């Protein structure tokens, strides 16, 4: 079910760094680690590949590698890292730009892995997708002359884009927020039973902006209620359309700490599902453990009312927060979602596997369905099924897709099953 792997070259003479980066990225990429810059340049480097280059190499430094990549006219996506000061990094980036390379960004060591992975996944999406709806998210540059937007320009600006509150409010008003849908598979029935709706900002200049670049701003500024209201409205409207198409899928959406302390939320949601003639049980509201810990009494009031009105509740990222078992028992959850941190480590770590096994047992004993997120390979999917996990989502099934792609994907899925 995965798209063809993108090659990720890690060029660093530190074998420990190479091993760490390889372990962190191998689920998504075909990783080739090289401790020699000269050996790297002898590799069959493609324009769709990604190169993570350390500037300080023993046989040939990173600046020489940059020059050689330019000489052989390689358009691979280049990311530079170094333990040098930022002035050296900045100069190297400027040099790569002067040579016309696809320089994306630079990192000072030590690298923050989550930030690196975010960037790598964005590059992969642009490299591997030829769909028109992905192209439509890129900046509109000189369309009269049919000039294609430069990939590096798009990525550099989107990655470092820091929206202002005014821009975010305008995006909500202009309805630039859209939902992408990631399928959730029943492991026992072998059918798609739902999706998680993930918000994206389709920026007219920078393309697709991921939620990690604007959700914190929305929460800190108090705009999160408006943002969540729009997400919920879009999800319920999509449920209505699927009902008309006889497509039965529940939609899971993320709810923030501010949302679950808003006494108006249950009534607002009830009004929306009634207006659209949608079954409230088809809407799963995901709440993280950490969000649950803020104003627990108020949250318990609101979450209990939501269950009384027919909505389903999921405790998200389970195992990473601070809630006690007694608090978990107090809140009327219907689903337990095992965090990807444990799921992705199951095949290599007996501790991770034991935690997943315990979560499945706990969820079932509390009469909850259990779903595993971040499932990236078939072996992990099979193991979860054998362990009795109910549902799963992850890239081995499908990445999050815009609506047109998702509906094509699920039609193809149903045809293959039939």
119, 244: one domain: no
Going by pLDDT thresholds of 50, 70 and 90, the confidence category of residue 132 is very low
Assigned domain for 175 exists = yes
Are 55 and 88 within 8 A, CB to CB?
yes
Same domain as 291, residue 207? yes
Q: How far is CA 349 from the centre of its chain?
A: 23
- Is residue 332 domain-shared with residue 214, that is, in the same domain? yes
**Residue 415: what pLDDT?**
82
Q: What is the pLDDT of residues 23-46, one digit of tens each?
A: 778 777 899 999 999 999 999 998
pLDDT for residue 283: 96
Q: Are residues 106 and 167 in the same domain?
A: no
* 178 in the same domain as 103: no
Range of the domain at 304: 162-417
Q: At which of 93, 116, 132 does a domain end?
A: 132
Q: Are residues 203 and 256 in the same domain?
A: yes
The torsion angles phi and psi of 356, rounded to 5 degrees, stand at: -60, -45
Give the pLDDT score at 139: 33
Stretch among 165-169, 221-225, 287-291, 395-399 having the lowest mean pLDDT: 287-291
Same domain, 282 and 398: yes
In a domain, 146, yes or no: no
Is 57:13 a contact under the CB 8 Å cutoff? yes
- Spell 23-48 as b/e; 16+ CB within 10 A means b: ebbebbbebbbbbebeebbeeebeeb
pTM: 0.68
Tokens of 218: 């929305």
Query: What number of CA atoms fall less than 13 Å from residue 223's CA on the CB side?
Result: 17
Return the pLDDT at 293.
66
Among 15-19, 95-99, 317-321, 352-356, the minimum mean pLDDT is found in 317-321
For 122-136, 141-155, 156-170, 210-224, which range has the lowest pLDDT when averaged over its residues?
141-155
Whether residue 141 lies inside any domain: the answer is no
Q: Residue 151: inside a domain, yes or no?
A: no
Q: What is the CATH number of the domain that holds 324?
A: 3.20.20.450
Q: Which of 110-119, 187-196, 282-291 has the lowest mean pLDDT?
A: 110-119
- Same domain membership, residue 335 and residue 204: yes
Domain total for the chain?
2
Task: Give me the phi and psi of 176, to 5 degrees please.
Answer: -85, -5
Please check whether residue 59 lies inside any domain of the structure: yes
Backbone angles phi, psi at 20, to 5 degrees: -65, -50
* % pLDDT > 70, the chain: 85
How many CA atoms, within 13 angstroms, populate the side-chain half-sphere of residue 322?
A: 6
Rg of the chain, C-alpha, whole Å: 23
> In the structure, what pLDDT confidence band is assigned to residue 128 with cuts at 50, 70 and 90?
low
pLDDT at 240 over 90: yes
State whether 199 and 276 are in the same domain: yes
* 25 lies in some domain: yes
Q: Which of 63-67, 94-98, 254-258 has the highest mean pLDDT?
A: 63-67
Question: In this predicted structure, what is the pLDDT of residue 262?
Answer: 81
Say what the pLDDT of residue 256 is: 84
pLDDT tens-digit profile of 197-218? 999 998 887 778 888 889 989 9
Q: Is the pLDDT of residue 264 over 80?
A: yes
Is 170 found in the same domain as 118? no
Last residue of a domain, one of 75, 110, 132: 132
Q: Does 88 lie in the same domain as 10?
A: yes
């Amino acid at each position: 079910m995965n798209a063809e792997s993108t090659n990720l070259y890690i060029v660093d003479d530190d074998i420990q760094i190479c091993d760490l980066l390889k372990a962190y990225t191998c689920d998504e990429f075909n990783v080739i680690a090289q401790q020699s810059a000269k050996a790297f340049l002898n590799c069959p480097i493609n324009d769709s590949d990604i190169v993570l280059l350390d500037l300080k190499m023993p046989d040939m430094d990173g600046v020489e590698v940059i020059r050689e990549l330019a000489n052989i006219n390689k358009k691979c996506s280049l990311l530079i890292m170094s333990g040098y000061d930022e002035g050296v990094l900045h100069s190297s980036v400027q040099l790569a730009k002067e040579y016309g390379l696809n320089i994306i960004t630079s990192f000072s060591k030590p690298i923050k892995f989550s930030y690196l992975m975010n960037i790598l996944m964005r590059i992969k999406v642009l490299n591997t997708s030829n769909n028109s709806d992905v192209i439509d998210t890129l900046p509109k540059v000189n369309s009269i002359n049919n000039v294609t937007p430069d990939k590096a320009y798009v990525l550099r600006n989107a990655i470092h884009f820091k929206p202002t509150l005014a821009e975010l409010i305008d995006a909500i008003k202009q309805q630039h927020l859209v939902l992408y849908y990631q399928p959730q598979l029943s492991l026992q029935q072998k059918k798609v039973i739902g999706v998680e709706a993930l918000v994206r900002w389709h920026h007219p200049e920078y393309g697709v902006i991921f939620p990690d670049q604007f959700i914190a701003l929305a929460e800190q500024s108090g705009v999160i209620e408006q943002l969540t209201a729009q997400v919920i409205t879009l999800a319920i409207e999509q449920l209505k359309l699927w009902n008309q198409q006889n497509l039965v899928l529940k939609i899971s959406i993320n709810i923030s700490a501010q949302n679950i302390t808003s006494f108006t939320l249950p009534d607002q949601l009830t009004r929306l599902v009634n207006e659209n003639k949608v079954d409230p049980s088809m809407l799963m509201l995901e709440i993280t453990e950490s969000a649950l810990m803020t104003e627990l009494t108020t949250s318990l009031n609101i979450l209990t009312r939501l269950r009384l009105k027919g909505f389903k509740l999921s405790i998200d990222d389970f195992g990473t927060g601070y809630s006690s078992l007694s608090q978990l028992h107090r809140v009327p959850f219907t689903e337990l979602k095992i965090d990807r941190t444990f799921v992705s480590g199951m095949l290599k770590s007996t501790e991770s596997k034991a935690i997943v096994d315990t979560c499945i047992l706990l969820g079932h004993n509390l009469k909850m369905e259990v779903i595993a997120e971040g499932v990236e390979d078939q072996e992990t999917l099979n193991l979860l099924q054998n362990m009795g996990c109910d549902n799963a989502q992850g890239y081995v099934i499908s990445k999050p897709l815009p609506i047109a792609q998702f509906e094509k994907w699920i039609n193809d899925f149903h045809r293959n099953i039939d």
